[in-house]
Amino acid sequence: MENREHDIEKKHIKYALYIPCGIVLALLLCFLVENGMDWDFTHAGIFPRQAKGLGGILTHGFIHADWSHLFNNCLSLFVLSSFLCYFYTPLDKKILLFSYLGSGILLWIIGRPCWHVGASGLVYSLCFFLFFSGIFRKHIPLVAVSLIVVFLYGNVVWHMFPWQISDPVSWEGHLSGGITGTIIAICYRHKGPQRPIVQEWEDEVEDDNNSENRTIEENSNDKETIHNKQ
C-alpha cells in the first residue's frame, strides 16, 4: 500500500515538472533561434490598440530582449508553474491558458504605444493566482504556497506601476498579469482543490457517541432504580 502511494506521488511530481520544463524549453529555443539566425522577433510582440499588434497576444510571451530578461522569466515560470501543476492539477492547463491570453489581451488594451515582449505577464498572473487562490480556499497546503509566493516574489508589486517617465520595463504587462491572475483566482475559487470538511464530521460523530453514552447511562440508572424498588 505504501509503495503504491509512493509511486503515485512520484508520478504526480513528474507530471508537475513536465509542463514547466516544456515552457522553459520553448522560450529558450525561441530565443536561441532568434539570436542564432540574427533575426528580430520584436514585431511578434504586442502593440497596444493597433491591429498589427493583435497577433502578438499569442506570441509575445516567447520573445525576450536579452539573456537576463529570459533567465528571470524562465526561472520564475518554472517555480510558479510547478506549484500550479502540483497543487492545482485539475485546473493547471486552463489557468495557464487563461493567464497567458488574459494578460495579453489586457496589455493590448492598456499598454503604451510601443512593442511589448516577454512572459512577465504570465509570471505575474501566476503569482497573483497562487497567492489569492490559497487565501480564498483557506486550505493549509495552499495557504502555505501563498506564503511561499509572497516570500519569493513579494517585491513584484513595486514593478506594476510606472516609476519613470520613459520606463523601459513594461509595467503595463505586469499590471495586466496581476489583474488577470486575481480575476482567475476569484472565478475558480470554488473549483479544484478545496479545504476538506473533516472537523465537522468528527464533531458530529463525537456528539452521536456522547448521546449513545448518555442513553446507555440513563438505561443503566433506570435498571438500578427498578432493581432497588424490587
The string of pLDDT tens digits covering residues 71-80 is: 999 999 999 9
Cα distance between residue 30 and residue 42, in whole Å: 12
Burial of 78 (0-12, 13-18, 19+ CB in 10 A): middle
Residue 197 is predicted with a pLDDT of 77
Cα distance between residue 177 and residue 153, in whole Å: 14
Residue 213 is predicted with a pLDDT of 56
Residue 192 is predicted with a pLDDT of 86
Q: What is the mean pLDDT of residues 21-31?
A: 96
Name 62's Cβ contacts closer than 8 Å, sequence gap at least 6: 26, 27, 30, 41, 44, 119
Name 43's Cβ contacts closer than 8 Å, sequence gap at least 6: 52, 115
Indicate if the pLDDT at residue 136 is higher than 60: yes
Cα distance between residue 147 and residue 153, in whole Å: 10
Indicate if the pLDDT at residue 147 is higher than 80: yes
Q: Which three cell numbers stand for residue 102?
A: 488574459
Among 71, 72, 73, 96, residue whose Cα is nearest residue 18:
96
pLDDT tens-digit series, residues 182-220: 999 999 999 988 888 765 545 555 555 655 555 545 555
Task: Share the mean pLDDT of the chain.
Answer: 87
